[in-house]
A and B are shown apart, each in its own frame.
Chain A
Amino acid sequence: MRMNRTARLSGALCALLSAPSALADMELNMPRGVTPITNEVYDLHMLVFWICVGIGVVVFGAMFYSVFAHTKKKNPTPATFSHSTTAEVIWTTIPIIILVVMAVPAAKTLVKIEDSGNPDMTIKVTGYQWRWHYNYLEEGVEFFSALDAASNEARQLESGINPATVDNYLLDVDKAVVVPVDTKVRLLVTANDVIHAWWVPELSGKRDAIPGFVNEMWFKASETGVYRGQCAELCGYDHGFMPIVVKVVDEVDYVAWLGDQGVENPSRFARKINAGAEKNAGLTQDAAPAVTGQGDAR
């Protein structure tokens, strides 16, 4: 009888977990991202997560066993032990070993993240209340990027517009950053007024944009696509409304985009157009966004 109920319960649970409609909007985990570093970070996250789950199963298992087995009813005479050097040495040593297991790969990944040397291109990112400014230092392209008009209209207090009807509500901008795929893009992050933080989860972790100081970060996206993020440091009234959109495109499209920005002879910035030609050919069927006109004004 009891088994039966358990079986039915787990069946129901499986049904719930496998129902795609119920959980379509309920993302449970971190995105893997599209750079080697975000993949490594994801693996590290899962490693630490499963270690915690393992410890949790042991600790909470012991706790619940004790709660059910060592009650006054079942064990009217309590044991009298209150000390055990062996046990204490064990449960001090094992956690240290587990911590080392986590610390070693974490340190390795951290060293890689902090190595922003030898970039293929550099963009200076400046946070403003409440929009971003991008300056392609070598290409000479610069522009502001702010919340797009549709989201901006819908997000006004009592606007009456259902946010669900707005495409990419709060995660779309009037002019996106465009970068080529498979390119090490270094960002020099700073701010003009207060501290902001630049963050696109699928490209990299976040980094603070601090007025008067320049921080470095970098990413090398290995897939074309549109990646969205938000300011991640409380920066005042409209902190929630300064999204970031990065379009990763193949080099041909990137060069075309540069041309549209008024860059003369843009193909001189196509560092990999020959070396990466085969790879790019393979990527053409990917849904790389068409980049045309005024920087794909949206």
Chain B
Amino acid sequence: MSATSATHDHHDDHDHHGPEKGIKRWIFATNHKDIGTMYLLFSLAMFMIGGAMAMIIRLELFQPGLQFIDPGFYNSMVTMHALIMVFGAVMPATVGLANWMIPLMVGAPDMALPRMNNWSFWLLPVAFTILLSTLFMPGGAPAAGWTMYPPIVLQTGAAFPFMVLSVHVMGISSIMGAINIIVTVLNMRTPGMNMLKMPLFVWTWLITAYLLILAIPVLAGAVTMLLTDQYAATSFFNAAGGGDPVMFQHIFWFFGHPEVYIMILPAFGIVSEIIPTFARKKLFGYSSMVYATASIAFLSFVVWAHHMFTVGMPLAGELFFMFSTMMIAVPTGVKVFNWLATMWRGSMTFETPMLFALAFVFLFTIGGFSGVMLAITPVDFQYHDTYFVVAHFHYVLVPGAVFAIMAGVYYWLPKWTGNVLNERLGKWHFWVAAISINVTFFPQHFLGLAGMPRRIPDYAVQFTDFNMLSSIGAFVFGLSNLMFIYNIWVNARGGEPATDRVWDGARGLEWTVPSPAPYHSFETPPEMPDLDDETEWEESRFAD
């Protein structure tokens, strides 16, 4: 294989329409589809690794007492599970979808900066090799939580500088990915597609990319200060030297809260593409969706301290962050109502992507309700750092962000592979995943309210029943992901050829190209069809 690629002379190759042969296609990839595919496969691999860690956590929590692992390793699992899922699974998955779909959606041949695209992907395996290697280091993997609060994080063993380095590398990758998306969206749209004609997925990603550029450097600053506190005798976060450990929390969450929306805004975009398709009805309130997304993004920078209500802020601070946090419910509500209004009096069918999208709307909203409850500062003093919080953020991230990503994968998979989806397998996956995820996370609300703190490897016996239930749900959900992988594998191998439009209610430029999409999406900028007009839509589709 490598011999073949070595003899392959690029300069004599006049046919630039196909991919390189062999491994070079992937290592030197500049094609947005190849890079998108690598992002998605990488994310899937990380999802399974992070998921395996979740299984270890749920196994230990299946009953009280310590049966399998010691508390130190438990803390490492909690920390690594979060870092891998946030930075390795959810973020790369949405970047992968952006890579694949944005050029197709805006009528561009590729991303604007293909070489940087390559670099931003290939930094990820580097970052996660570094991070995962800490599992084998003296003192174990980082165990201070993904929030890396000092002083506890400074007690990390040999893994400490590697954790900081890997966060830096992930951050550089994210920033380059974000720059690429911004440049592509702002410069490569086909003539006639003005900003307010962009598909909502493109809009949400544009806003997400700005969030990344604003938030990630803050994280980089925070971990660098940790590094100098540890090795260069600075005292940013050390009270004995005039610093303040709480300052780290302020800096971290100034990154951390926008990070939450970095994970969920692309999910909003995906769902806003899918629901109109299967309701056979135009997205309701397009411009209010755009404004709501922008408001959420703005608010995400002024609510950070609601993650740290218990640090002992001044009353005025607590009131401010309570009110600003509650405000987020308004634009988020607008989005949910708009999705409902899109469905209303539509002509719905429930293929797999639609099922995942509807589950997203339903279960994300439940996560939103617990979010409103958590915003109420005096009550948060009770909820804070309990399983209620664990239930809340898993509801918005798993049946929230992850379900939306799965919906997106099922929705666009026929466009990627050229094969119609196996609905039977998809529906099996959906129902097993949707039921088991609720069995996993719903009881955790009760555990938290009854007083079970989070990040503990062992618990008082009155919490046994719900923990067992939660573990059983988690094991089933873990296995359901094998169905997801199997389904993708079956689809990639073959099947009934998909039409260009794939789903009969789909609209947008990506559905005007053949399935599978050609290697270079649009070599000349396409005519922008009037997507509101079904007749014109049909004509534009057959025009090429």
Contact = CB atoms under 8 A, between A and B. Distances in A.
A240 B347 contact: no
A48 B151 contact: no
A60 B365 CA distance: 9
Given A70-B346, A87-B341, A232-B384, A102 B376 contact: yes
Contacts of A80: 281-282
Contacts of A162: 65
A194 B152 contact: yes
B164 interface: no
A18 interface: no
Contact of A207 (B66, B72, B310, B365): B310
A193 to B, nearest CB: 7
Nearest to A170: B460
Contacts of A71: 347-350
A199 B309 CA distance: 14
B432 interface: no
Given A163-B461, A169-B64, A83 B285 contact: yes
A25 B365 contact: no
Contact of A28 (B246, B373, B449): B449
Interface stretch (A6-14, A91-99, A176-184, A260-268): A91-99
A156 B64 CA distance: 11
Contact of A103 (B152, B322, B348, B446): B322
Given A26-B465, A204-B381, A233-B385, A70 B361 contact: no
Chain B interface bracket (under 10, 10 to 19, 20 to 34, 35 or more): 35 or more
Contacts of A155: 65-66, 458
Contact of B347 (A72, A164, A194): A72
A238 B451 CA distance: 18
A57 to B, nearest CB: 11
B152 A235 contact: yes
A27 to B, nearest CB: 4
A79 B340 contact: no
Given A63-B361, A95-B329, A82 B378 contact: no
Contacts of B337: 59, 87-88, 91
B537 interface: no
Contacts of A149: none
B285 A241 contact: no
B152 A157 contact: no
A195 B149 contact: yes
Interface stretch (B22-30, B50-58, B311-319, B472-480): B311-319
B71 A238 contact: yes
B348 to A, nearest CB: 5
Contacts of B453: 199, 230-232, 240
A46 B237 CA distance: 38
B311 A206 contact: no
A52 interface: yes
Contacts of B330: 92, 95-96, 99
A158 interface: yes
B514 interface: no
A5 B340 CA distance: 30
A117 interface: no
Most interface-central of A76, A213, A234 (chain B CB within 10 A): A234
A118 interface: no
A45 B369 CA distance: 12
A240 B284 contact: no
B534 to A, nearest CB: 10
Interface stretch (A105-113, A272-280, A285-293): A105-113
B151 A59 contact: no
B382 A75 contact: no
A176 B356 CA distance: 51
Nearest to B74: A240
A216 interface: yes
Contacts of B378: 40-41, 44, 106, 109-110, 113, 205
Contacts of A168: 460
Contacts of B268: none
Interface in A7-63: 25-31, 40-41, 44-45, 48-49, 52, 55-56, 59-60, 62-63
A88 B334 contact: yes
Contacts of A29: 446, 449-450
B244 A213 contact: yes
B460 A208 contact: no
Nearest to B281: A78
A46 to B, nearest CB: 10
A205 B383 CA distance: 8
A106 B377 contact: yes
A226 interface: no
Contacts of B456: 230, 239-240
Interface in B441-484: 446, 449-451, 453, 455-462, 464-466
Nearest to A60: B362
Most interface-central of B71, B72, B155 (chain A CB within 10 A): B71
A75 B345 contact: yes
Contact of B239 (A30, A154, A213, A232): A213
A159 interface: yes
B460 A169 contact: yes
B371 to A, nearest CB: 10
A102 to B, nearest CB: 7
Given A72-B349, A99-B329, A210-B312, A113 B379 contact: no
Given A230-B453, A233-B385, A48 B65 contact: no
B373 A239 contact: no
A91 B338 CA distance: 10
A210 B348 CA distance: 55
A207 B312 contact: yes
Interface of B: 64-67, 69-72, 75, 78, 143-145, 149, 151-152, 155, 238-240, 244-246, 279-286, 288, 310-312, 315, 318-319, 322-323, 326-327, 329-330, 333-334, 336-337, 340-350, 358, 361-362, 365-366, 369, 372-373, 376-382, 384-386, 446, 449-451, 453, 455-462, 464-466
9 contacts: A66-B343, A75-B347, A88-B337, A102-B376, A157-B67, A170-B459, A195-B245, A206-B384, A230-B451
Interface of A: 25-31, 40-41, 44-45, 48-49, 52, 55-56, 59-60, 62-63, 66-67, 70-72, 75-84, 87-88, 91-92, 95-96, 99, 102-103, 106-107, 109-111, 113-114, 154-159, 161-164, 168-171, 193-195, 197, 199, 201, 204-208, 210-213, 215-216, 229-241
Given A27-B449, A157-B67, 15 more contacts: A30-B450, A41-B379, A63-B358, A71-B350, A78-B281, A110-B318, A110-B378, A170-B64, A204-B381, A205-B310, A234-B78, A234-B144, A236-B143, A236-B144, A240-B71
